[in-house]
Amino acid sequence: MTGDRSKNKLPRRRVLAVGFAGHQGKEYLPIVRESADIVGGVDPAPAASSLADEWGFPHYDVLGEALRKVDFDAAVVTVPHSEHFPVCTELLAHGSHVIKEKPFAVTEQEARQLVHLAQRADRSVLTLLQRNFDPVFQFAQENLARIGEPYWFSYDYHFNLAHPTTGWRASREQAMGGVLLDMGYHLIDVLSGLFPEPAPEPPRVHSAFVHHCQEMRDRRLEDLVSLMFSYPSTGLAGSLRVSRHNYEKTEHLCVLGTEGALNVVPEAAVLHSVGGLPLERRTGKGPRTDAVRSMIAHHLGHLDDRCYRQAHLQRQLAVVRTIDGIYRDRLRERNELADRCA
């Protein structure tokens, strides 16, 4: 993928890195630099200035200053969840493309506003979701039709973190949701790609939210979520579980169809016959950075592609609508319970 732009002789894009001194921002710096020029960085963290010096780009504490002083084509945004919407709207108002971390948005209303602003500015807002560039998930997408009519899926994704959540993820105001919004966003995006919903019929979802410790319960930031999906238009159903404090780190997607099954773990995807005979397999070659490298180069190469942009926006809108719907249902149930107890 990195070669695409040079083959087509497109100029290297100029990138502003927003939130570059954090965990994800630092991981992306060397990868972005392979296919673009980093012309500035914004981050108020104390370590940001010396990091920018090391990388040889100018540093700004606030976005507004960078917008006044730096010419760039696209911003790569890796900030806490509460900052996504204000940062992205400011960038779009300025006329820049945005390549951003998940979530695309937290609420459906904000997602619709972002789509509107992107279309009005004729700019892209592309979300970084590495599974779409991972060979094992690509195999699942390419071979889904071979299992006939899918009727059931189960999807598990767990971390085995030993300590309670800290930092902005432990703050309701900054995280704006628990593990569903954080880790679960990736999975709901994968499901939206495999089983795109016909517009008026989103999946129905029943949820259980569970907390590892009292502090997270008090802040309404779930550490474990279990979801049961049903898709009224096709009869498909499935379950999804995501958590932070499991006994082992694991990811496993299984889809059962009328004529076969797909089984996906990070190391390999396998197509099975009904009854379990393995028919074809793709192994996950290379480290995670290969998928990240492909994703970033691909997004940078498609900033002006309006069809790509439109399809991406519609899918992210569907993902945000599903997650926001689950949170709103929980809130309604909570309020009804409080009313009954009052």
Ligand X SMILES: NC(=O)c1ccc[n+]([C@@H]2O[C@H](COP(=O)([O-])OP(=O)(O)OC[C@H]3O[C@@H](n4cnc5c(N)ncnc54)[C@H](O)[C@@H]3O)[C@@H](O)[C@H]2O)c1
Which residues are near ligand X by CB under 6 A?
Answer: 18-19, 21-25, 42-45, 63, 78-81, 83, 87, 101-102, 128, 167-168, 182
CA atoms within 13 A on the CB side of 164: 11
Cβ distance 155 to 187 under 8 Å?
Answer: yes
Cβ at position 183, least distance to ligand X in Å: 8
Q: Whole-angstrom Cα distance, residue 83 to residue 80?
A: 6
CA distances to 4, 8, 207 from 341, rounded to whole Å, are 61, 65, 22
Cβ at position 103, least distance to ligand X in Å: 7
CA atoms within 13 A on the CB side of 116: 6
Measured from each CB, the residue nearest to ligand X is 22
For ligand X, the closer of residues 18 and 319 by Cβ is 18
**Structure tokens that stand for 254 in this block:** 């299984």
Cβ at position 319, least distance to ligand X in Å: 13
Cβ at position 331, least distance to ligand X in Å: 21
Cβ at position 248, least distance to ligand X in Å: 18
For ligand X, the closer of residues 81 and 293 by Cβ is 81
For ligand X, the closer of residues 29 and 326 by Cβ is 29
For ligand X, the closer of residues 25 and 193 by Cβ is 25
Collect contacts of 110-113 with beta carbons under 8 A, ≥24 apart.
110/85, 110/320, 111/316, 111/317, 111/320, 111/321, 111/324, 112/317, 113/85, 113/89
Cβ at position 87, least distance to ligand X in Å: 6
For ligand X, the closer of residues 234 and 246 by Cβ is 246
For ligand X, the closer of residues 143 and 294 by Cβ is 294
For residue 206, the cross-strand partners are 228
The SS3 of residue 13 is: strand
Residue type, 48: A
